[in-house]
């Protein structure tokens, strides 16, 4: 009888471990929140987000529970000066599969249906600023495109808001 209970306990532990491992593999990866401060420069021939060869900038943002973060993207050099602009897009998830916060539009095709317009623009003299955070951990990725017409440079900061 004692051997029966030992086998039952072992079976329960193995099942619980298997369930835990499956749940862990299904959970989205959470990144550690960290401050960012970097500059991106580049050019594009067109502004079409769906064109496979368009260079895209991205900023992954992860927040811990009860933390607030402020993302600011300033354009320090914009083709067209104050009249130049580029749209901002948001993905509700953590995406970091490019190099140096740049990727090509075609890299985003697997998540394209989940990328939404942020209803915002980065203009030559008007930065994009958005707060992120909440009572639970959250992940976002902000995307924007180098506008056509010449070299563009963006200064990106992500700081913890008090």
Q: Is there a contact between 78 and 124 (Cβ–Cβ < 8 Å)?
A: yes
Q: Is there a contact between 63 and 33 (Cβ–Cβ < 8 Å)?
A: yes
Beta carbons within 10 angstroms of residue 88's beta carbon: 20
pLDDT digit string (tens) for the chain, length 162 residues = 667 665 655 555 454 444 444 444 334 445 667 899 999 999 998 767 678 889 999 999 999 999 999 999 999 999 988 888 999 999 999 999 999 999 999 999 999 999 999 999 999 889 999 999 999 999 999 999 999 889 999 999 999 997
Beta carbons within 10 angstroms of residue 56's beta carbon: 21
Q: Which pLDDT score is estimated for 62? A: 94
Alpha-carbon span 83 to 147, nearest angstrom: 11
Q: Which pLDDT score is estimated for 51? A: 86
Q: Which pLDDT score is estimated for 124? A: 83
Per the listing, tokens 């939404």 go with 116
Q: Which pLDDT score is estimated for 22? A: 40
Name the class of domain 36-161: mainly beta
Q: Which pLDDT score is estimated for 82? A: 85
Q: Which pLDDT score is estimated for 46? A: 79
The verdict on pTM exceeding 0.85 is no
């Amino acid at each position: 009888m004692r051997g029966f209970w030992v086998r039952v306990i072992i079976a329960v532990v193995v099942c619980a471990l298997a369930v835990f491992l499956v749940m862990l593999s299904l959970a989205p990866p959470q990144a550690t929140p960290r401050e960012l401060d970097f500059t991106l420069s580049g050019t594009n021939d067109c502004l079409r987000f769906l064109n496979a060869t368009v260079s895209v900038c991205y900023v992954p943002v992860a927040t811990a529970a009860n933390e607030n973060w402020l993302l600011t993207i300033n354009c320090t050099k914009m083709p067209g000066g104050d009249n130049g602009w580029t749209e901002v897009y948001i993905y509700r998830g953590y995406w970091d599969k490019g190099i140096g916060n740049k990727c090509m539009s075609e890299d985003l095709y697997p998540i394209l249906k989940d990328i939404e317009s942020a209803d915002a623009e980065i203009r030559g003299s008007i930065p994009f600023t958005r707060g992120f955070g909440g009572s639970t951990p959250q992940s976002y990725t902000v995307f924007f495109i180098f506008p056509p017409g010449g070299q563009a440079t963006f200064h990106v900061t992500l700081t913890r808001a008090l």
